[in-house]
Amino acid sequence: MFKTKFLLLFIIFVSSLANGATNYVSDDLHTFIHSGPGTKYKIIGSVNTGEHIKIIRKDSNFTLVKDSKGRSGWINSKYVSNQPGLKERLPKLENELIKLKTQLDEYKGNLGSKASQVTNLENTNLKLTQQLEEVQALNDSLNEKLDTKRTDLLMRWFSYGGMVAGAGLILGLIIPLLIPNRRNKSRW
């Protein structure tokens, strides 16, 4: 009884180790070539994944093909694709991935310099904004002074005009009194 339990625990332990290992399905899959359009016909060979084939005729579920070895036969239509296999596409994709990683690294390097340029531009923008505010404050101050000067000038001209008018009025009243009238005073 003890040996049976121990053996059972050992089998469970070993199977759990086997399940924990990472495994992959092989890319070397193949499909069978049949002598007719169906699985009930004789198998005359197999075609590996990604192998080039030429389509001769399509039936409902099966396609008549000619493989790279020159054999003609029928294979299931779901295994026929117009895209190259992974064996052909993978090296191209890996090369493209390397190029894109290189470009990404270059962009990351350029990004650091661009970030410093952005920081410099932001600092310059801040300084220019402060200078603009100072110039606007100075402009407002000068406009106030100009308005004050205009008001003072107008008041001065009004004062001069009033003095001239007052002097003319006084002269107009005094001069006739000083000059004797030559006319006859009795007119009636």
Say yes or no: 87 and 147 in one domain: yes
Average pLDDT, integer, range 144-163:
95
- Residue 142 exposure: Cα atoms within 13 Å on the Cβ side: 6
pLDDT confidence band for 185 (50 / 70 / 90): low
Average pLDDT, integer, range 34-60:
85
Helices (H), the chain: 2-20, 86-178
Average pLDDT, integer, range 25-39:
74
Range of the domain at 47: 30-82
Look up residue 29 and give its two tokens.
Answer: 């899959």
**pLDDT above 70 for 168:** yes
Say yes or no: 74 and 102 in one domain: no
Q: Answer whether 41's CB lies under 8 Å from 21's CB.
A: no
Say yes or no: 92 and 135 in one domain: yes
Q: How far apart are CA 20 and CA 117, in angstroms?
A: 51
**pLDDT above 70 for 132:** yes
**CATH number, residue 38:** 2.30.30.40
Who has greater pLDDT, 2 or 155? 155
**pLDDT above 80 for 92:** yes
What local confidence, expressed as pLDDT, does residue 26 receive? 46
Which one of 82, 109, 143 terminates a domain? 82
pLDDT confidence band for 188 (50 / 70 / 90): low
Q: How far apart are CA 52 and CA 17, in angstroms?
A: 40
Say yes or no: 119 and 77 in one domain: no
